Amino acid sequence: MHPFKTSFLAIALLPAGALGADGSSAPAGNAALAALEARAPAEQYNPDFTTRFHRDVFALVDGDTLKTGDDFFRAATLSQGFAIEYRVARIPYELALAACGEGDPNAEKLLAGAWDSLLHSVGRPLRFDFYGMVASNPDSDEFTLEPAPKVIRDLMIDPAAAREAASKASDNPEAQAIVNADQAIRAHWYAMTPDQSKDAVKADHQRNRRIREIVKEGSLHTARDFENASLVMQHSSAFAGYQLAHELAVCSMLLGDKGTGRWLVAATYDRMLLSIAQYQRFGTQGAITLGTQISPELAPTDEAGICDGERVALGCPTLAGKRADSYVYAAEALTEQGKGGEAEAMARDGMARVSKAYPDGSWRTFNAERVLGASLLAEKNYADAEPLLLAAFAGLEKAESTLPRNVRFHIREAAESLDKLYEATKRPDEVAEWTSRVDAFDRSNPASH
């Protein structure tokens, strides 16, 4: 038997279905999940049954019936401990992430080992050697170790202690300043000239180097610190940078970040997979563009063995919702490039798709209105742009307290578009009002513009 598999069988952290989220006996909840748990003692690791058993676990995930943190945790324990190959090693890790995203404390115990298993399955060194594979196989080159930075290792091994320490710590001001610069340079990314784009990439590399130094120094303490570091590191160009960005995002989530940090767990994971020619899983990434060509399609997405419940647990939209969003953001990029008519057509398509994918009152519908209004403004169709932009601003502003930090800048963009509209139509009183609203937003959200 494969040594990695043997180790998993010998030291599985928790028996399948043994604990609920509060440490009590797991409730039946999902009937199909409970049925698999009943089969697990006889089938989970039995060579005569294990293939069929785990195929049924995957089918359960594909059915999108798992919704709660406890559901995800229980399914993760059913799928852990047997995977050598990437297509199955990813399943327990992704389920454990979703469980943590929903706040299940038991799932924290699964992350380090499942992360090591996933990395091994794609031919990468382990980060924790959680199961002692490097230590117990000193003469084998099958298992190698590139330890995660100490600040990450300590946090993922003992999240409770890290949360206690974080509650007494202050945010790192340098990390905040770096992420402010990182976000500011992206305000009009698609409108950059080739030379400006080259300069932006150089600046990204410089910021990445400094964040690596801060991580090595152990100077990250709070959820915001880890989120900021991850947000910068996701603008890397190779696997190692995305891997570090993902680990930082996981740390932010474990420290309690339910906003941008939690979403970054999915986004950095997708970017990491795409960097090694694997399809993304959560659907956070748009299609790769060539030059100024803009595509509304998602990057290739492998939908097997993952469900929308996991996406939602990590602060992402459903896959259908994300596909609708992609048309909206493609329209925005086209507007920045001065392709007015093409942008308007794309924005109207996006509006229709978003209206079908999201419930009435979703902030995403208001954002779609904003993008359509901006495309009309670019065409100098002021009469049609104004009501859309006013409605978009009102809806986004009302939802501000619930918006992830990385999308709050859409409020500013709506106000800025209205400011431009009133300036173009020579209405000085309205210009003064909306200039003041833009300034007020900037004072309250220095990292969002």
Cβ-proximal residues to 175 (8 Å cutoff; 6+ apart), any chain: 211, 214, 219, 220, 225, 228, 229, 232
283: left (phi over 0), alpha (psi -120 to 50) or beta: left
> Which pLDDT does position 291 carry in this prediction?
56
> Which pLDDT does position 42 carry in this prediction?
94
> Which pLDDT does position 21 carry in this prediction?
37
As to burial, measured by CB atoms within 10 angstroms (0-12 exposed, 13-18 middle, 19+ buried), residue 140 is exposed
> Which pLDDT does position 288 carry in this prediction?
62
pTM of the model: 0.87
Q: What is the mean pLDDT of each run of 10 residues along the chain (449 residues)?
A: 33 33 44 93 88 90 93 92 77 97 95 95 94 86 93 97 97 96 82 86 95 98 98 96 98 95 97 97 83 83 96 96 95 91 95 95 96 97 98 96 86 97 98 96 73
- Helices marked H in 379-408: 382-398
> Which pLDDT does position 185 carry in this prediction?
86
> Which pLDDT does position 27 carry in this prediction?
40
> Which pLDDT does position 447 carry in this prediction?
58
> Which pLDDT does position 80 carry in this prediction?
76
Length of the chain as a residue count: 449
DSSP code per residue over 49-64: THHHHHHHHHHHHHTT
For residue 282, the 8-state DSSP code is: S
> Which pLDDT does position 25 carry in this prediction?
38
> Which pLDDT does position 81 carry in this prediction?
61
Sign of CA dihedral 52, 21, 83, 306: positive
> Which pLDDT does position 24 carry in this prediction?
36
